[in-house]
Amino acid sequence: MPEILIGILLLFILAAALWLGFGFSGLARRQNGLPERLAQIMEEKHRAMLSDLHEGLARQGDRLNSSAAENAERLRSAVTQELQFTRDALEKLQLSQSASLAQTREAMLAQSAEQVRANQELIQSTLRNTTQQLTTAIESLTKSVDGRLEQISGKVTERLDEGFKKTNETFANVMARLATIDEAQKKIDGLTTNMVSLQELLGDKRSRGAFGEVQLEALVRNILPPSAYAFQQTLSNGNRVDCLLMLPEPTGNVAVDSKFPLENYHRMFAAELSEGDRAQALKQFKSDVKKHVDAISEKYIIPDETSDGAVMFVPAEAVFAEIHGHHQDDVVDYAMQKRVWIVSPTTMMAILNTARAVIKDVETRKQVHIIKDALSKLGKEFSRFDTRMKKLADHIRLAHEDAEEVHVTSQKISRRFAQIEHVQLDESGVPVLEVLSDEPIVGEDS
C-alpha cells in the first residue's frame, strides 16, 4: 500500500511539474513585450523551483514510508502557495511594466512631436526670410543686368550682323570656288591617270593584243559553257588561235582571233597632221585591216577541221564603227570574200548568245530519246497504277458491303437487348419475351 501511494504521489508531482512548466512557457509567450530581465528572473525562479522540487522529492523519498500522506499534503500546499505567489508576482510585474512602458512611450511621442513642430516652424521661417531676401536681390540684379545687356546687345548685334554678313559672303564665294577647283582637279587627275594608263596600254602592240585577248576571253566565259570553247588552241597547221568556238554541226569549229589596228587609226584623227598625211594614214589603216583579214583567212580556216569562215575580233567599238561606217565597200566586202567576219564586243556578244541558243537546242535534241524512254516507262507505271487502283476500288466496295451487313446484325442484337431490358410478366408471374419478327431491317440482305 505505501508503494502505491508513493507512486501516485510521484505521478502527481510530475504532473504538477509539467503543468507548471507549460504554465511558465505559456506565460513567457504571453509576456513577449516584457523586458528580457523579467524573462530571465522567471527562468531563474523556474529553475530554482524545479531544483527545490527535486530536492524535496529526494528528501520526501526517504520519508515516504512513514509519512507519505502528510508529506504529499504539505508538498501540495507548498506548491500551490508557490504557484499562487508566482502568478501574483507575474501579474503585478506585467501590469507595472505595461503601465511604465505606456507612460514612457506617450512621453517620448509627445516630446518628439513638439520638437518636430518647433523644427518645422524654424525651418519654414528661415526659408521664408531667405527666399524673400534672394528674390529681392535677384530682381534687383536682373534689372541691372538686363539694362546693361540690352545696351551691349544692341551694339554687339549690329556689329556682328555686319561682320557675319560680310564673312558669310566671302566664305561662300571662297568655298564655291574651292569646290569648283577641287572638282576640276579631281577630274583632271582622273583623266590624266586614265590617259596615261591607256596610252601605256595601247602604245605597245603586245599590250594591245593582250588587252583584246582578255576582253574576248571575258565575253566568251560569261556566255558560253566551258565545253563550247578553248583558248590558245593549236590547230593542225601549227598556228595557235586566240579562241576556238566548238559549235555543233554543220557550223563546226569557228576560230576567233583578236586584232587591234590602232596606230594608223589615231594618225587619221591627229590634228597636227596635214590632209596629205591623213590620207596616207587612212590608206595605211585600210591596208592594216586587210592584212589582218588575210592572216586570219590563211591561218585559221582549215578544211575538215574548222568552219569555212573565221571571226576577227576588234576590241574597240570606235575602230569597228570606222570600218563598217566608212569602209564598207573596200574593207568589209574584202573580208566577206575572205570568209572573215569583223566583229566588235557588242556584236560578238550577239554572236555568242546565238551560239549558246544553238548549243542548247542541240543538247535538247540529244535528250529527246531519253525523254521518250522516260515517258514510256511512266506510261507503263501509270497502267500498272490503274490496274491496282481498280483492285483497290473492288476491295473497298466489298468492305463497304461487309460493313453494311455487320451494321444490320448489330441492329438486331441491339433490339434483342432492348426487349430483354423491358421484359414483362404474364398473369402467372412467368417472364414473357416479345418474339422478334424475322423481317430484315432496311438495308439487310440476310
Question: What are the domain boundaries of the chain?
Answer: 2-117, 211-366
What 3 state SS string does 371-427 have?
Answer: HHHHHHHHHHHHHHHHHHHHHHHHHHHHHHHHHHHHHHHHHHHHHHHHHHHCCEECC
Sign of CA dihedral 283, 285, 287, 290: negative
The three-class DSSP label of residue 313 is strand
Contacts of 307 (CB under 8 A, 6+ apart): 247, 251, 252, 253, 254, 255, 301
Greatest pairwise CA separation for the chain in angstroms: 170
Query: Taking the model in full, what pTM does it have?
Result: 0.41
DSSP state of 316: -
Task: Give the pLDDT confidence score for residue 270 in this predicted structure.
Answer: 73
Instruction: Give the CATH number of domain 211-366; options: 3.40.1350, 1.10.10, 3.10.110, 2.40.160.
Output: 3.40.1350
> How are beta strands 253-258 and 310-313 bridged, if at all?
parallel
Residue 231 has which C-alpha cell?
A: 583558248
CA distances from 67 to 53, 60, 72, 389 (A): 18, 9, 8, 116
CA nearest to 216, candidates 359, 339, 360, 343: 343
Length in residues, the chain: 446
Residue 357 has which C-alpha cell?
A: 541558243
Task: Give the pLDDT confidence score for residue 171 in this predicted structure.
Answer: 63
Backbone angles phi, psi at 74, to 5 degrees: -65, -45
What 3 state SS string does 323-383 have?
Answer: HHHHCHHHHHHHHHHCCEEEECHHHHHHHHHHHHHHHHHHHHHHCHHHHHHHHHHHHHHHH
Task: Give the pLDDT confidence score for residue 401 in this predicted structure.
Answer: 83
Residue that is written with C-alpha cell 568589209 in the block: 332
Task: Give the pLDDT confidence score for residue 209 in this predicted structure.
Answer: 67
Task: Give the pLDDT confidence score for residue 198 in this predicted structure.
Answer: 47
Contacts of 61 (CB under 8 A, 6+ apart): 6
Task: Give the pLDDT confidence score for residue 441 in this predicted structure.
Answer: 47
Write out pLDDT tens, residues 270-314: 777 778 887 888 888 888 888 888 888 888 888 888 888 898 988
Write out pLDDT tens, residues 226-247: 888 888 888 888 888 888 888 8
DSSP 122-138: HHHHHHHHHHHHHHHHH
Burial 275-285 (b: 16+ CB within 10 A, else e): eeeeeebbebb
Give the integer Cα–Cα distance in Å for 223 and 84. Answer: 119
Give the integer Cα–Cα distance in Å for 20 and 3. Answer: 25
- 316 and 342 Cβ atoms separated by less than 8 Å: no
- How buried is 256 (Cβ within 10 angstroms: 0-12 exposed, 13-18 middle, 19+ buried)? buried
Element (H, E) at 253: strand 253-258
The three-class DSSP label of residue 294 is helix
How far the first Cα of the chain sits from its last, in Å, is 100
Q: How many CB atoms lie within 10 A of CB 257?
A: 24
- 305 and 236 Cβ atoms separated by less than 8 Å: yes
Residue that is written with C-alpha cell 569557228 in the block: 254
Q: What is the pLDDT along the chain (446 residues), one digit of tens a residue?
A: 556 666 677 767 776 766 666 665 655 555 555 556 666 776 777 677 777 767 766 666 666 666 656 666 777 787 788 788 878 887 888 788 778 777 887 888 888 788 878 877 888 887 788 778 777 777 776 777 677 767 776 776 777 677 667 767 776 776 777 677 767 666 765 655 554 444 544 445 666 667 778 888 888 888 888 888 888 888 888 888 888 888 888 878 888 888 877 777 777 777 777 788 878 888 888 888 888 888 888 888 888 888 888 989 888 888 888 888 888 788 888 888 888 888 888 888 888 898 888 888 888 777 777 777 777 787 788 788 778 888 888 888 888 888 888 788 878 887 877 777 666 555 555 555 555 454 444 444 44
